[in-house]
Amino acid sequence: MSGAVKLYNFWFLVGSQHLYGEETLRQVNAHAAEMVGGLNESGSLPCAVVFKPVLTTPDAITGVIREANNDPSCAGVITWMHTFSPSKMWIAGLSILNKPYCHLHTQFNRNIPDAQIDMDFMNLNQSAHGDREHGFIGARMRLPRKIIVGYWRDEAVVKQIASWMRSAVGAAFSRGLKVVRFGDNMRQVAVTEGDKVEAQIRLGWQVNTWPVGDLAGEMSKVAEGDIDALISEYGKRYSAPSFESPPIRYQAREEIAIRRMLDSEGARAFTNTFEDLHGMEQLPGLASQDLMGLGYGYGGEGDWKTAAMVAIVKAMTEGMPGGSSFMEDYTYDLTPGNELSLGAHMLEVCPSIAADRPRVEVHPLGIGGRNPPARLVFEGRAGQAVAASLVDMGGRTRLIVSEAEAVKPIYRMPNLPVARVMWRSLPSFEEAAKCWILAGGAHHTVFSYDADAVMLEDWADIMGVEFVRIGRGTTYESLKKELFMADLAWKLRA
């Protein structure tokens, strides 16, 4: 399940024109190659940057963009105008560009060489000038694009490129994502519904249903030896008094069968619901948790949008240390001035966000009418995090991201038989919850310590999804106006 990020690269497109003569163009090429080398050697980028020879004609620009469009390993293009590149030359190419687009506004030299600067130097080092011409055509063509400004060797600039690369990888992953639904959504629930056709047109997701009976059939084919092998994997990752209990073996059987069905469909996310477990003795708990830990997306109660978002966030943050999980806002601790949310789910929280080694425990489940399932129990780690919810507004989707500060749970909660996470919402409990409810954010989220609001906003911009951030500096009054204006704007756009 790993390696998705490294499969991709980004093309560095440098524009110029023939006016400057061969010597200047030779220098532009040499500088661009040095910058690509420097960026790749920084060690801070998740994907490689690929140098492309300087572009000086409309045909060359259109040609390279056509190649980028057709290369499945190219996840986006980064443009920079070392000299002046008249932007009408870019119209044909940019009008067919179907990859994420970043305009890096930088310059080759950090400082102006006081004693040496002359008109030749100025003509070569004029991105302050050329990038404005390039920016205009992006604005004039209404192209969604990421703009990064600063000196290319600076860590802050490289970090922004790295983050945007991950957003772009998330976009590529999204466009190929298949979600398997075992059964339908939980009856009567609104927020887990949505337009699957619109989701496929806009986001690329193929969301289809498989009968739970097929899964039960697949489970009956799982060999005891395969269960033994998975149990020994559990032993490496988790602790338990004994792994040889029937409920743990049953979860292993479920996990193997679910994974086989997902892999045979090429699917990277799935849903199920406690209301539809025909032929199954336990709701998958440990099974779903371990699959999330391996990188699969999951959504409870048929929540295919959150399942897809969990998979996408896991793919875009691959290799990062924090972890990401399916999550649900459950209950609050309302101490004045220190209000905290307690997040959990019936069972399914991903072990990637555990502070310590998760324990396998078996407890009865008061819902669904099946046998007590094995599940992983742990505390989530402390740290900066976001909770993200994609909702269907009718005609468009809206991604709502709430910034949070996860804390070590302030209570032991010895009788709570599920994994739990505690966090403080920003800017405050009251403001954050009011804004979340106003915007229509769900009770289900993807909770990530690796993705931040900027990474998710860039992904939303690439996908053409409305984005709402709730965090530092957010006020209810300004958000109310923002949502009102956005509603008008999105209606005009559609």
Q: Which is nearer to Mn ion, 328 or 379 (CB)?
A: 328
Nearest to 35 by CA among 138, 158, 131, 148: 158
Nearest to 494 by CA among 392, 390, 394: 394
Question: For 472, how many CA atoms within 13 A lie in the half-sphere containing its CB?
Answer: 6
Binding to Mn ion in span 358-377, by CB under 5 A: none
489 token code pair: 């704007």
Q: Which is nearer to Mn ion, 247 or 299 (CB)?
A: 299
What gap in Å lies between CA 109 and CA 120, rounded to an integer? 14
Q: Which is nearer to Mn ion, 276 or 301 (CB)?
A: 301
Binding of Mn ion by 300 (CB under 5 A): yes
Per CB under 5 A, which region of 269-277, 292-300, 452-460, 470-478 contacts Mn ion? 292-300
Per CB under 5 A, which region of 113-121, 256-264, 321-329, 395-403 contacts Mn ion? 321-329
Binding of Mn ion by 466 (CB under 5 A): no
Q: Which is nearer to Mn ion, 100 or 299 (CB)?
A: 299
Q: Which is nearer to Mn ion, 300 or 417 (CB)?
A: 300
Q: Which is nearer to Mn ion, 300 or 409 (CB)?
A: 300
Q: Which is nearer to Mn ion, 300 or 343 (CB)?
A: 300
Give the chain's end-to-end CA distance (angstroms, integer): 37
Cβ 255 vs Cβ 263: under 8 Å? no
Per CB under 5 A, which region of 66-74, 102-110, 293-301, 428-436 contacts Mn ion? 293-301
Query: In Å, how far are 253, 342, 381, 386, 431 from 426, measured between CA atoms?
Result: 41, 15, 18, 10, 8
CB of 283 to Mn ion, least distance (A): 12
CB of 453 to Mn ion, least distance (A): 23
CB of 156 to Mn ion, least distance (A): 39
What's the gap between Cα 64 and its chain centre? 28
CB of 346 to Mn ion, least distance (A): 7
Contacts of 71 (CB under 8 A, 6+ apart): none
Per CB under 5 A, which region of 108-116, 325-333, 350-358, 388-396 contacts Mn ion? 325-333
Q: Is 241 helix (H, G, I), strand (E, B) or coil?
A: coil
CB of 303 to Mn ion, least distance (A): 7
What gap in Å lies between CA 350 and CA 307, rounded to an integer? 12
CB of 357 to Mn ion, least distance (A): 25
65 token code pair: 């963009």
109 token code pair: 């030299």
- State phi, psi for 322 to the nearest 5 degrees: -85, -40
CB of 370 to Mn ion, least distance (A): 16
CB of 189 to Mn ion, least distance (A): 9
Q: Which is nearer to Mn ion, 293 or 300 (CB)?
A: 300
Number of residues binding to Mn ion, judged by CB under 5 A? 3
Q: DSSP secondary-structure letter at 87?
A: G
Binding to Mn ion in span 341-360, by CB under 5 A: none
CB of 390 to Mn ion, least distance (A): 15
Measured from each CB, the residue nearest to Mn ion is 300
Q: Contacting Mn ion (CB under 5 A), which of 318, 328, 392, 458?
A: 328
What gap in Å lies between CA 415 and CA 364, rounded to an integer? 12
Q: Which residues of 239-269 are buried (b: 16+ CB within 10 A; e: fewer)?
A: ebeebeeebbbbbbbbbbbbbbbbeeeebbb
- Residue numbers at the binding site for Mn ion (CB under 5 A): 300-301, 328
